[in-house]
Structure 1
């Protein structure tokens, strides 16, 4: 019996840890603002073209998928604004909402692009582009650290 209980506790701990390592990306701007206000955390709005933007895909691998960013993400509200080319990735309403956000916050249309803002939607700072040849995410880590430290 002790072995079964120990095994169940082990499974629970492992599953809890794996759930914690997943990033909690929101996709609704209004929800992100509400969460930001309640939690007193800045919003990191990430513009991506998930199925066509090579630098976005590399940034996902080199930055967003790291344990270091997972720790940093606990201090921010994550908002993903995806503009895919494939029509089966997002609903029509989500794509429409995302395109509105691009017009307001990513007027130059750069991908990837990260914008830090407060709970009212006021831009604090931005960090854009990602070098496919260098694949060095250090400036993104520094950007997020600066936002967290100064918020």
Structure 2
């Protein structure tokens, strides 16, 4: 009986943890739909998930923390643009990610871009708000930098809309 109760507890506990994890989009078209609906900017995370040590470190120290997940749900639409060496990807995602890597001139990983996106006449328009990468100091340091990028954009928009 104790084994059954323990097993049930572990299964329910892991389901609860999974339910709390942030949702990462991989398809830009879907991410743009969500962004448009929620009026939140896109958070483009360029990563080498299965080979980039700094990417894995950023994930562990920041992106997989409760602080980040709470912040992300409130502020952005998460998009993972992965460039794995061992993990297979469908060709459409590979093509999308390669094009975005060129568009943003990403040369190192991890790179995070904050963008506003719109789609007009079937073409995606991306307004760059700012970028960052790995920052030492955990979620507090990283989120402070992210908030500064988003705040700068909001204050700039306010200036242009009031003039």
Q: Shorter-chain TM-score: what band?
A: 0.7 to 0.9
Specify the alignment match of 1:110 in structure 2.
108
The one-character-per-residue Cα deviations of 1:59-81 (angstroms, maximum 9, x if unpaired) are: 01000011100101112100000
TM-score, L = length of structure 1: 0.77
Shift of 1:124: 0.5
| Structure 1: gaps of 5 or more residues | 1-9
Distance 2:150 2:66 in 1: 17
Residues 129 and 150, structure 2, Cα contact 8 Å, conserved in 1:
no
Task: Name the Cα RMSD after superposition.
Answer: 2.6
Q: Secondary structure at the match of 2:34?
A: helix
Equivalent residues in 2 for 1:51-62 (5 A)?
51-62=50-61
Specify the alignment match of 1:36 in structure 2.
35
Shift of 1:92: 2.4
Q: Number of paired residues?
A: 136
Residues 42 and 114, structure 2, Cα contact 8 Å, conserved in 1:
yes
Specify the alignment match of 2:81 in structure 1.
81
Distance 1:145 1:17 in 2: 28
Specify the alignment match of 1:24 in structure 2.
23
Instruction: From 139, 142, 150, give the equivalent of 1:140.
Output: 142
Residues 28 and 79, structure 2, Cα contact 8 Å, conserved in 1:
yes
The structure with higher relative contact order (CA 8 Å, sep 6+) is 1
| Structure 2: gaps of 5 or more residues | 1-8, 119-125, 155-163
Q: Secondary structure at the match of 1:25?
A: coil
Residues 72 and 144, structure 1, Cα contact 8 Å, conserved in 2:
no
Specify the alignment match of 1:5 in structure 2.
none
Flag the 1:42–1:23 CA change in 2: closer, same or farther, 3 A.
Answer: same
